[in-house]
Amino acid sequence: MAQILPSILSADFARLGDEIAKVESGGAGMLHVDVMDGHFVPNMTLGPPVVESIRKVTRSVLDVHLMITDPDRYAPLFVEAGADQVSVHYEAATHLDRTVRNIQSLGARAGVVLNPATPVGVLEDMLDVVDYVLVMSVNPGFGGQKFIPNSLKKIRRLDKMRQERSLPFRIEIDGGVNLENVGEIVRAGCDWLVAGSSVFHSADSASAVRDLQRAADGALAVRV
């Protein structure tokens, strides 16, 4: 079953605990945490101490998305802070295999993220190593951007590759996810859908999660 992951980037950071409790009351069981360093992307967000504080107020799966230039140095700190899974950008990693295996050796799931301009083919020899692949459907750095439709092709291709090779990795999408496109994203083969502004900038974030999840479940029902 496909799952909706609220992205706390669009939450009110001054009331983060309440914001998290609210989306969890709407059924969220995984939370997406964006880490930006002002180098890899032109924006800055949060570091390990914030993840540590979040860990104390939730049992949800913490999905940490590192948009930073030095993932080898910092990924272990996020695992230590309580991340259940950590993804690194293909474009930022010099020795991707080592980076991914290092995260896994610390007891967390490891994902690789692809920017919109990076083709899925570059991961051909990593698909049996990674726990998940995150397809960026916007250029990373900011919430509230428009969904790039080409990402659907990338999801379909990844889904085909995992079926052909009987691999267990999960497929995640991040950027511009809303009620209008949830159905086609799920039908393309996506497992985890990150949603920031369509959840936290709505009138009621709990119902927004519920509505997106219902749309995702409905899309799967159509698929069968």
Residues classed as catalytic:
34, 174
**Site map 38..77 versus Zn ion, x via CB under 5 A:** ---------------------------x------------
- The least distance separating ligand DX5 from the CB of residue 165, rounded to whole angstroms, comes to 27
- The least distance separating Zn ion from the CB of residue 224, rounded to whole angstroms, comes to 29
| Binding of Zn ion by 172 (CB under 5 A) | no
| Binding of Zn ion by 174 (CB under 5 A) | yes
Look at residue 24 and give the partner it binds from ligand DX5, Zn ion, none, a contact being a CB closer than 5 to 8 Å depending on partner kind: none
| Amino acid identity at 161 | M
Residues 18, 143, 33, 24: is their CA dihedral positive or negative?
Answer: positive
Q: What is the DSSP letter of 126?
A: T
In the complex, residue closest to ligand DX5 by CB = 196
Helix (H) or strand (E) holding 160, with range, is helix 150-164
Question: What backbone phi and psi angles, to 5 degrees, belong to 47?
Answer: -125, -170
Helix (H) or strand (E) holding 81, with range, is helix 71-81
Q: What is the DSSP letter of 119?
A: -
Cβ closer to ligand DX5: 42 or 218?
A: 42
Look at residue 175 and give the partner it binds from Zn ion, ligand DX5, none, a contact being a CB closer than 5 to 8 Å depending on partner kind: ligand DX5
Q: Quick one: which segment of 18-26, 32-40, 46-54, 144-152 binds Zn ion (CB under 5 A)?
A: 32-40
| Binding of Zn ion by 34 (CB under 5 A) | yes
3-state DSSP helix/strand/coil percent for the chain, to nearest 5? 45, 20, 35
Kindly list the residues in this chain that would bind Zn ion in the complex (CB under 5 A): 34, 65, 174
